[in-house]
Amino acid sequence: MKMFLQMVTLVITLFSFEQGLRAGVLEDVMKGKAIVIDLTYPLNEKNAYWPVGPYTPFKYEVIANLKKDKVFSGKYSTPEHLGTHIDAPNHFEEGLPSVDQIPFEQLIGHAVIIDVTDKVERDADYILSPSDILLWEKDNGQIPEGAIVLLNTGWSKRWHDYDGYKNFDKESSMHFPGYSKESANFLVTKKNIKGVGIDTLSGDCGTSADFIVHHTINAARKFILENVANLDKLPPKGATLIIAPIKIEGGSGGQCRIWAILPELPPTKYPK
């Protein structure tokens, strides 16, 4: 009986959220009464990609043009984990859902933006701690269940400088911020989030050798968003996130379009 009541509560919660999304947020977007911020970098040959192993840059080639063929068309090739993209649960854990198996309701949620830019300026290897999360909650209230947590590290300012974005040292070790094992575990076990995101190459910090954050998040059947743009334009809370990944059958991830939708408020209501 207890389990039945829990299931009923979950269904009502999901139904209410989906109804609110359809009748509220999306209605405001259609009427021009919402602010829509694109958190996606355009795909091109300058996009950052994982610089270790057999990964290659994005490539685009025109195969038909209007002057000659009366139609414009092209073809492209890319690793799954290039540019703004999603890591599906099967990226680091065998037998878990691939990118095409992530349900829509998992790809929408309340955005929680944790800003650690000041700490990253002092330490490029900074990793998010549970105390950072608790400090966010002290200022903003509890992280809602089913939220999508995005870490704003300020690393996006290096996006157009691939060498600076990778930040290799003389020993061929990369240096950029990320989540810690403890913060990832806290989010999936205590907050029941849908996924996490970051404005760097990886959810793990650059010096990571075991990718423990990936293992922790993916093992919990959650996703990771990487190379997310424009996080500095979002307030700590109040945005609704919509993620639209490419549907590669059996894929470990892929490029995705990410939108943050905010209610239309006076500029003074949002932090600078």
- The catalytic residues are 91
How far is CA 172 from each of CA 54, 121, 245, rounded to the nearest angstrom?
Answer: 16, 21, 32
Nearest one of 220, 228, 141 to 178, comparing CA atoms: 228
Nearest one of 199, 195, 201 to 163, comparing CA atoms: 201
Tokens 């300012």 belong to 157
Question: Would you put residue 57 in left (φ > 0), alpha (ψ -120 to 50) or beta?
Answer: beta
According to DSSP, residue 21 is labeled I
Q: What is the DSSP secondary-structure string of 156-197?
A: GGGTT-HHHHH-B-TTS-B---EE-HHHHHHHHHHS--SEEE
Q: Is residue 202 within 8 Å of 91, Cβ to Cβ?
A: no
Tokens 């840059």 belong to 57
Interior angle at CA 265, CA 264 and CA 266, nearest 5: 135
